[in-house]
Amino acid sequence: NRLKKEKNAVILAHSYQTPDIIYGVADFTGDSYGLSLQAKKTSANTIIFSGVRFMAETAKILNPDKRVYVPSLEAGCSLADAISAKDLRELKRKHPGAPVVCYVNTSAEVKAESDVCCTSANAAKIIKSFPEKEIIFVPDEFMAKNLERETGKKLISWSARCVVHQDFDRGKIQAVKERFPGIKVLAHSECPPAVAQAADMVGGTTDMERYVKGSDAPSFMLVTECGLSDRLRSENSGKEFVGMCSLCPYMKKNSLSQILELLQKPAKEKEITIPASVAAKAKKALDRMFELS
């Protein structure tokens, strides 16, 4: 923490990070949208983004004059890695006139090809804001199906899935509900539609956090990454959290020692750089997200 002040650095940590990062060094913790807002507001010269690469890219797009670093070069994302700008251009060619909403879990290049970005927290609101009945939504196919059900729009999606959420099973949820009467099941929007339909609430990590804090239910099951369950368990004494979580192999690539190394001696290869032309277009999609939220 002394080093952070000396370097005028801020550390942003996603809710899926390990407790030593979240409680030890993070200045702000949250979901993609909340951390995007913090990145937009920070006065620090340096941002260390303890999350995955696309999040750090978003911070860089919003802060072109600041230095943005990732602790681990291996912190990718199964969704962001599944679609390229070329793939999206081909999808747009096949569906002329359809607006493009891209989930924030995408590369800067894909954002640059989109009309607006969204997060799990604001996706439904943004999709509903378009008068068109047919909308391109990339890249998460399960999230697209869940949003179709919620918004009534026809969403043209890509065949990408989140490695954390794709394998959750509706049968296990029903078994837990039978074993724990009164339990509330909270599922992430990236879960399979059958899982989402069995849940009491579907949304992003901040939606889940808000629900837990405002609910009188005795127990909860969070159908998402284990990091969120761990954090909410420590922050909500007296409430029981029943396990069915999955670890994100990408989020867990970051470590406290890597963050310390960046503060001591920033590594050039870990600094996020984005071509100015790409960043300018991607920023328009992000700015529109903030306007519509």
| Domain segments of the chain as ranges | 2-75+252-272, 80-157, 170-247
| DSSP symbol at 247 | -
Asked if residues 33 and 122 have their Cβ atoms less than 8 Å apart, the reply is yes
pLDDT at 1 over 80: no
What does the pLDDT look like over 196-212, one tens digit per residue?
999 999 998 889 999 99
Does 80-157 match 170-247 in CATH topology? yes
We find that the CATH architecture of domain 2-75+252-272 is: 3-Layer(aba) Sandwich (3.40)
Q: How much is the pLDDT for 34?
A: 85
Q: The whole model's pTM is what?
A: 0.92
* Fold annotation for 80-157: Rossmann fold (3.40.50)
Closest listed residue to residue 149, CA positions, set 87, 202, 99: 202
Q: Is it the case that residue 36 has pLDDT exceeding 90?
A: no
pLDDT at residue 243 above 80? no
CA distance 7 to 134: 48
Q: For residue 252, give every residue at least 6 positions away whose Cβ sits within 8 Å of its Cβ, in sequence order, or none.
A: 16, 18
- Whether the CA torsion 104, 108, 113, 115 is positive or negative: it is positive
Tell me how far apart the alpha carbons of residues 44 and 50 are, in angstroms, rounded to a whole number: 16
Q: Which two tokens stand for residue 128?
A: 């509903």
Span 38-52, average pLDDT: 92
Lowest mean pLDDT among 80-89, 96-105, 203-212, 226-235: 226-235
Residue 227 in this model has a pLDDT that exceeds 90: no
Q: How confident is the model at residue 293 (pLDDT cuts 50, 70, 90)?
A: confident
Mean pLDDT of 274-291: 97
**CATH number for the domain formed by residue range(s) 170-247:** 3.40.50.10800
